[in-house]
Structure 1
Amino acid sequence: MVQKRLLHLRVPVTLDEEQEIRTKARDTGLSVAKYMRMVSLGYLVPSAIDNQQVEKLLRINGDLGRVGGLLKMWLTNDVRLKISSKAEIEATLVAIRTTQNAMLDAILELRNKKTNT
């Protein structure tokens, strides 16, 4: 049986604190009341931002896998996949580096958000 919440607590906060609490609650996908209740009772509050970053990293990782697979096919010496120029290899390597940099940026962004909370 779920117990109905009938009591309300008042917590004085500054305008900055209120905004920060509302932002953190929104970032977790929780109402302010549920967020404050979970934090106050010592529960681990899931972060929607963390989940978004993980999804972003997974997409980038998938891109890297596809680019790596293409490069591997090129290197098998299959006549149908013959590399026509050195520029194609260089373009593929640039794509890999770009994707790696995007992944690194996403990881650093996630780490910075964790550090600032």
Structure 2
Amino acid sequence: MTEGTKGKAQSRRRGKPIEVWVTDEEKATITECAEEAGMSRSGYLRALGLNTPIRSVVDFGAVSDLVKVNGDLGRVAGLLKLWLADKHGEGASAIDVESVMMEFRRLQVAIGMKMGAIFKSHR
């Protein structure tokens, strides 16, 4: 493997190169777009030129953060439920607490649906 492949399998020679003249800014933009798609510049430009769909790579770190937030929402909802059971009638009304718990559950479902959609569209 060469240093520029970032752990990918060795690429094969495709034949004749095509020169494309670009400015430094255009090259930087093409490089950034290729990296977002998880492709080499050459592969990215080849895909564009052959009208092949290009998918971006999922930011698995961001999805991992969503998983953590989803878990935190569940824990807070659980704590509210315990508080409601132990301190029935003290502080906030049971209806207000139940309303907050329902909103947490709604947010958990929404986060789960977003995560599922991200993974489904990037397989």
TM-score (normalizing by structure 2): 0.50
Q: 1:38 deviation in Å? A: 1.8
Length, aligned pairs only:
87
Aligned counterpart in structure 2 of residue 27 of structure 1, from 31, 36, 61: 36
Q: Does 1:9 align with 2:48?
A: no
The Cα offsets for residues 23-53 of structure 1, whole Å up to 9 and x where unpaired, read as 1112222111111122222222222255544
TM-score (normalizing by structure 1): 0.52
- For 2:16 and 2:52, locate their aligned partners in 1 and report how far apart those are by CA, in whole Å: 20
Q: How does 1:1-117 map to 2 (within 5 A)?
A: 5-75=14-84, 77=85, 82=86, 86=91
Q: Which has the higher helix share?
A: 1
Question: In the alignment, residue 31 of structure 1 is paired with which amino acid?
Answer: S
- For 1:36 and 1:28, locate their aligned partners in 2 and report how far apart those are by CA, in whole Å: 11
Percent identity, please.
35
5+ residue gaps, structure 2, are 1-11, 92-99, 108-113, 115-123
- For 2:33 and 2:67, locate their aligned partners in 1 and report how far apart those are by CA, in whole Å: 24
The Cα offsets for residues 61-96 of structure 1, whole Å up to 9 and x where unpaired, read as 232223223322332x1xxxx35x85xxxxxx8xx9
